[in-house]
């Protein structure tokens, strides 16, 4: 019997961010391994014209939850969506709902966050710091609470090269930052943002670091743990390989490369691609929840959920295997043939951005204009390049994360729990994982049917022929211009023509002699 699965049985669990990428994988695993859990409360806001019920319905009817209805037939009754917006005071939760949450919750998994790198500081602080503080305040009023698990990121201290499983201080106390957001106006906040974030690359990593300090400061008498995943990739094994549902991390880049939009990217090929599968993160999170509640460690334990130190893969290996997988499973309606490379200097990056990205986009826009359509490719390309520039920080550096707590946790699990809640990334076969990643992007993000692969291949062949024709035409145009203007080019041209003529004459004469 799994101790972890048994622990969650009969429990009331509160999840924030349950509609997000990790939140959904977490809920699915909980229902699959502990179908006898009492209830999962999820804090949800209505979004894109959908009510809470519609959002829950959509999640439960998705491919990810395909098997859950069999394992846990009354899953609908076990999910209780609570209308909440983490940007509001008390999250805008009704009095009755709040009372129920306070009196019943046993475990909290705090996954909600803004993961956008370019969020204005005010918004990032509100969600990643102030909301965390408020949730801890709520948690402190829960008599039955056994554990509070906070999802942070391995990059919260990405300004350091070696990162230990400890909380590092920030130059300004989070409480002061929270207070200042109340009275400073947006213009001033924008002005001081670079000074506050210092040598971190964006407001996301900075506010996640502040969030951790808040957790440490406000969690007196509570059993708290912090999980720090690196770049969360699609599922590795469970409930099936390759599941992914957003464009974050490498997924958007894989689409852009597979569709032939992206032909080069500035990256350090030997830098570690510290990806970690979503199901691995969830397994560690659930194991940490169990350990925190049952063993009640004296201090807040931080768990690094990373792959680089145990089973490293670098960006070159990843890039090459992504490209190799495009050969096997091409994406439909590609703009150009997928063929990307890494650049390593400013000069080559700018050169290839102009030659391989902007020029083809301009040519295609001309074609759209000539055929009476609205040009849009250059705009899309510029946006893609801007977005990629925000990710560059993470693909040109390597970090070392110590994983003592994670290894300790693994060692205290029973063999059965090690199997059911596996987070031993040493067993990950990268080539298989990357292949499933590309397949998952095709199936679950692009919603492309595998039956369309022959047509996608035909399309790529047509693109290759167009590419050859275009190159030949370009060669002749350039040559023609050179011959018209330059005596040397004319001499070379006559030399080549006469050489070919002599060669052909000799060939014809020798074949006549043989006859
Ligand atoms: C050999 C060569 C091989 C090459 C082959 C390739 C090999 C692989 C190499 C891989 C290198 C990977 C590096 C990853 C490093 C990640 C590190 C993360 C580390 C931290 C991890 C964490 O701890 S934290 C979680 C991660 N957190 C993010 O990772 C958020 C990032 N992100 C944003 O911060 C916002 O995204 C940002 C950018 C502001 C833009 O913001 P933005 O508003 O301009 O753009 P949006 O993303 O919102 O998208 C707006 C609309 O464009 C649509 N769209 C977007 N991309 C599209 C696309 N590619 N194709 C079609 N459509 C696309 C989208 O669907 C929207 O459509 P609509 O408007 O209709 O909804
Ligand atoms: N994905 C990754 O690569 C990594 C993620 N992490 C961390 O893991 C956690 C989960 O990330 P991930 O699942 O990828 O993120 P997502 O962006 O997929 O999910 C974010 C979740 O937060 C919810 N949320 C955002 N704003 C509000 C709000 N105002 N009120 C209520 N809910 C809100 C979203 O709800 P809605 O659906 O309504 O928008 C969504 O459920 C985060 O804490 C993140 O920092 C750490 C390392 C890497």
Angstrom distance (rounded) from CA 273 to CA 316: 9
Find out whether the beta carbon of 271 lies less than 6 Å from any atom of ligand 1. no
Question: What are the tens digits of pLDDT across the range 110-161?
Answer: 999 999 999 999 999 999 999 999 999 999 999 999 999 999 999 999 999 9
pLDDT band, residue 497 (cuts 50/70/90): confident
pLDDT band, residue 22 (cuts 50/70/90): very high
DSSP 272: B
pLDDT at 210 over 80: yes
Token pair of 245 as six digits: 């549902």
Token pair of 287 as six digits: 């194991």
pLDDT of residue 512: 64
pLDDT at 515 over 70: no
Angstrom distance (rounded) from CA 111 to CA 21: 10
Question: What are the tens digits of pLDDT across the range 216-273?
Answer: 999 988 999 999 999 999 999 999 999 999 999 999 999 999 999 999 999 999 999 9
pLDDT of residue 513: 59
pLDDT band, residue 484 (cuts 50/70/90): confident
What is the dihedral sign for C-alpha 61, 64, 66, 67? Answer: negative
Angstrom distance (rounded) from CA 333 to CA 326: 13
pLDDT of residue 486: 84
pLDDT at 483 over 90: no
Strand partners, 15: 42, 109
* 39-44 and 79-83 beta bridge pairing: parallel
pLDDT of residue 49: 87
Instruction: Give residue 249 CA to ligand 2 midpoint distance, Å.
Output: 13
Counting from 1 in the atom list of ligand 2, the atom nearest the Cα of 126 is 29
pLDDT of residue 223: 97
Find out whether the beta carbon of 317 lies less than 6 Å from any atom of ligand 1. no
Region of residue 191 (left: phi > 0; alpha: psi -120 to 50; beta: else)? alpha
ipTM of this complex prediction, to 2 decimal places: 0.91
Which candidate, 199, 254, 308, 285, places its Cα nearest to that of 443? 254
Find out whether the beta carbon of 235 lies less than 6 Å from any atom of ligand 1. no
pLDDT of residue 514: 61
pLDDT at 1 over 90: no
CATH superfamily name and code, 3-240+271-310+399-411? NAD(P)-binding Rossmann-like Domain (3.40.50.720)
pLDDT of residue 48: 82
Residue ranges of the domains in the chain? 3-240+271-310+399-411, 455-514
Task: Find tokens 């003592």 and name the residue.
Answer: 404
């Amino acid at each position: 019997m799994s101790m972890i699965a048994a622990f969650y049985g009969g429990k009331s669990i509160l999840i924030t961010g349950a509609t997000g990428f990790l939140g959904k994988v977490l809920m699915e695993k909980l229902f699959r391994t502990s179908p006898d859990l009492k209830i999962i409360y999820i804090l949800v806001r209505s979004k894109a014209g959908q009510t809470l019920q519609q959002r829950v319905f959509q999640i439960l009817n998705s491919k990810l939850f395909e098997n859950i209805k069999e394992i846990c037939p009354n899953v609908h009754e076990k999910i209780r969506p609570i209308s909440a917006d983490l940007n509001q005071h008390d999250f805008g939760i009704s009095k009755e709902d709040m009372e129920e949450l306070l009196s019943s919750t046993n475990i909290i998994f705090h996954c909600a966050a803004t993961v956008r790198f370019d969020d204005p500081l005010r918004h990032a602080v509100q969600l990643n710091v102030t909301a965390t503080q408020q949730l801890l305040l709520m948690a402190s009023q829960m008599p039955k609470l056994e554990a509070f698990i906070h999802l942070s990121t391995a990059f919260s201290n990405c300004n350091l090269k070696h990162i230990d499983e400890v909380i590092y201080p920030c130059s300004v106390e989070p409480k002061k930052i929270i207070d200042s957001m109340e009275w400073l106006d947006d213009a001033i906040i924008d002005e001081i943002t670079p000074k506050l974030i210092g040598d971190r690359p964006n407001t996301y990593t900075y506010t996640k670091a502040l969030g951790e300090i808040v957790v440490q400061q406000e969690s007196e008498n509570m059993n708290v743990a912090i999980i720090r995943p690196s770049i969360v990739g699609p599922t590795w094994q469970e409930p099936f390989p390759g599941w992914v549902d957003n464009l974050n991390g490498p997924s958007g880049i894989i689409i852009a490369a597979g569709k032939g939009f992206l032909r080069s990217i500035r990256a350090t090929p030997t830098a570690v691609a510290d990806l970690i599968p979503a199901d691995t993160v969830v397994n560690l999170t659930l194991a940490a929840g169990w350990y925190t509640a049952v063993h009640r460690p004296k201090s807040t334990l931080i768990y690094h959920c990373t792959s680089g130190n145990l089973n490293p893969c670098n960006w070159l290996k990843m890039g090459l295997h992504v490209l190799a997988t495009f050969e096997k499973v091409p994406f439909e309606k590609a703009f150009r043939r997928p063929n990307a490379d890494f650049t390593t200097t400013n000069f080559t990056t700018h050169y290839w951005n102009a030659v391989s990205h902007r020029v083809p986009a301009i040519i295609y826009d001309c074609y759209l204009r000539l055929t009476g359509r609205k040009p849009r490719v250059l705009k899309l390309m510029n946006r893609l390049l801007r977005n990629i520039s925000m990710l560059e920080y993470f693909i040109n550096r390597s970090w070392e994360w110590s994983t003592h707590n994670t290894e300790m946790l693994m060692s205290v699990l029973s063999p059965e729990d090690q199997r059911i809640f596996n987070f031993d990334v040493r067993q990950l076969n990268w080539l298989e994982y990357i292949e499933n990643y590309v397949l998952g992007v095709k199936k679950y993000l692009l919603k492309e049917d595998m039956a369309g692969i022959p047509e996608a291949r035909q399309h790529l062949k047509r693109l290759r022929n167009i590419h050859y024709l275009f190159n030949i035409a370009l060669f002749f145009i350039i040559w023609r211009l050179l011959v018209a203007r330059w005596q040397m080019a004319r001499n070379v041209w006559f030399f080549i023509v006469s050489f070919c003529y002599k060669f052909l004459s000799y060939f014809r004469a020798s074949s006549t002699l043989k006859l």
